[in-house]
Structure 1
Amino acid sequence: IILGDMDKWAAGLRFADKSYILPAGKDERFLDVAQDIIKKEKVDIFIPLVDEEILKSYEIVKNMSKVELLLPEYNFAKITLDKWILFKKLKKFKIPCPETYLGNFLLETPHIIKPRIGRGSRNVKEIKSKKQYEAYKVLTGLPESKILSQNKIIGREFTISVVVNKHGEVLAVVPKEVIYKRGITIVAITRVNKEIESLCIEIQNRLKANGPFNVQLILREDGVPIVFEINPRFSTTIALTIKAGVNEIDILASDYRFSG
């Protein structure tokens, strides 16, 4: 197991057979450095875990026929990394999601604003007035074309690991109810919920991930799940998924290795 991180103090580096300090995913050096390590170490399966690395990763392995990239298909990643494009797709396929607009469309108060492209709840805020919206623009430096505005959905938050192989077969859906989060989910409880499972399978059927992805949603009091985020990668709650009995990396690595 070869691990890479931009933080030399990252705990995970101590559990690998070999580790490397990498440039940040948005650094222009990342592509070449990662490519060199993969070649040098004769890596079989490459697993990016950070949004800024994802689109570059398809380029990294483009000419490496013996390296499997443990990500969804490129088009799925492209759609889900741009939240505005994602919500237009969800609406087209009638997948339940919040009403979503670019810029300051005050649907009701309170409402949620967030960057069109972003991760880890960074700059996601609940606001209740035009004045707060204008302050948000100043503080983030984002133009209206890069800000999404959504009506706030009331209910219980879930993060879901969806395990899909490269042939589009859904191997597992693991819903976890979020108990405590600090940007990313820290504490969650695994739940069985057929409506959530069906919705995640429908997302795969419509958007064709054909690889692992993570869904974040609110389960309303009436039992309807409302999607507010889809991530084209393994969830940051993967340790909780494994603890629930589904080791999605092992499952998909084995599937990639033996299914051809």
Structure 2
Amino acid sequence: MKIMVTGIGGPAGRNVASLLLERGHSVIGVDMQRISLPGVKVHRIPPASHPSFLEKLCTLAVEESIQLMIPTVSEELPILASEWIKWSDIPAVISQKQAVYDADDKFLTSKRLSNHGVCVPRYLLPSQVSSPEEISLNLGWPCLSKPRVGRGGREVVIRNVKDWPAISMLDDRYILQEFIPGTDYAPNVYIGKKSAIVVLEKTMLKEGIVGNAAEVKRVNAPDVADIAISAAKAMNLTGPMDIDIRRRNDNNPVVLEINARFGANITQAKEVLDAVLEDFGV
């Protein structure tokens, strides 16, 4: 099958493409940067924020006779979940619009999961606190600040009480979150006709104690798998997901955030991609 992978220059895009090539598929890659990848024909397209992004992507899909489209860039997901079906009849590996929108926003994710009984870190918007004492009472120190819409370790900051002046300057494009100190996991999940889950433990983080994984290993952690599946169902998400989960000091896992796409470490969870391909008749 001829499959288009977006964000081919990123770790998720490269690794998805690598697995597809291993399985004998033709891969057409797209990226906003100039990328060279062995065995893959790559096109440069505008970023998701550009007005011509969708038109260019759809035109390329038709010109290349694509049979399946796999997005791997977080910024593209809300646009494609909302608009792709209006532009193209080529199937895309993406969840439904509202679920993708909610997962894209860390505050809405926390709120929805909490409302459905899925454990999350305690959280607040900056507008909901007016003193360091309130943070101490409601979140505890240290806490995290991070963008509501963002990915990886971008602007994820561990805050201590001395950082209150900086916290007080944040607006509600950010979320404040209880810092969870325990073991960090990245379950790779697929919810569909054929579902799959592989729990990966992050054994090293690129930013030290927060952010993306530099190294992972497969582990048997049934409670982490259970909460990952519960989170996906509570969000009404289908398709592939990369979920961030950590353990509290009492060893209980909590869900930090959900990426409604393949994760960067998909090569360690090949069954998840295989389940997707089987569901799409590939």
**TM-score category, normalised to shorter length:** 0.7 to 0.9
Cα distance in 1 between the residues matched to 2:85 and 2:58: 7
| Counterpart AA for 1:117 | V
**From 190, 215, 233, the counterpart of 1:163:** 190
The alpha-carbon deviation at position 180 of structure 1 amounts to 1.7
Cα distance in 2 between the residues matched to 1:250 and 1:175: 16
For structure 1, the 5+ residue unaligned runs are none
The alpha-carbon deviation at position 152 of structure 1 amounts to 1.1
Cα distance in 2 between the residues matched to 1:113 and 1:61: 35
Q: Is the 8 A contact 1:175 1:192 kept in 2?
A: yes
| 2:186 is aligned with 1:125 | no
Cα distance in 2 between the residues matched to 1:29 and 1:209: 27
The alpha-carbon deviation at position 184 of structure 1 amounts to 2.5
Cα distance in 2 between the residues matched to 1:135 and 1:201: 36
Please, what TM-score do these two structures have when normalized by structure 2? 0.80
Cα distance in 1 between the residues matched to 2:159 and 2:239: 35
What is the RMSD of the two structures over their aligned residues, measured on CA atoms?
1.9
| 2:73 is aligned with 1:50 | yes
Deviation by residue 1:104-135 (Cα, 9 ceiling, x = unmatched): 55121111111111111100000112x52433
Cα distance in 2 between the residues matched to 1:22 and 1:207: 31
Cα distance in 2 between the residues matched to 1:222 and 1:28: 48
Residues 2 and 202 (structure 1), Cα distance of their counterparts in 2 relative to 1, 3 Å cut:
same
Map 1:1-260; keep pairs closer than 5 Å: 1-8=27-34, 10=35, 13-16=37-40, 18-58=41-81, 59-65=83-89, 67-103=90-126, 104=129, 106=135, 107-129=139-161, 132-135=163-166, 143-165=170-192, 167=193, 169=194, 171-182=195-206, 183-242=211-270, 246=271, 248-257=272-281
Deviation by residue 1:92-115 (Cα, 9 ceiling, x = unmatched): 011010111000551211111111
| Counterpart AA for 1:234 | F
| Counterpart AA for 1:79 | D
SS in structure 1 opposite 2:239? coil
For structure 2, the 5+ residue unaligned runs are 1-26
The alpha-carbon deviation at position 57 of structure 1 amounts to 1.6
Cα distance in 1 between the residues matched to 2:76 and 2:113: 24
Q: Is the 8 A contact 2:204 2:216 kept in 1?
A: yes
Deviation by residue 1:38-57 (Cα, 9 ceiling, x = unmatched): 11112111111111111222
Cα distance in 2 between the residues matched to 1:210 and 1:180: 29
Percent sequence identity over matched residues?
A: 24
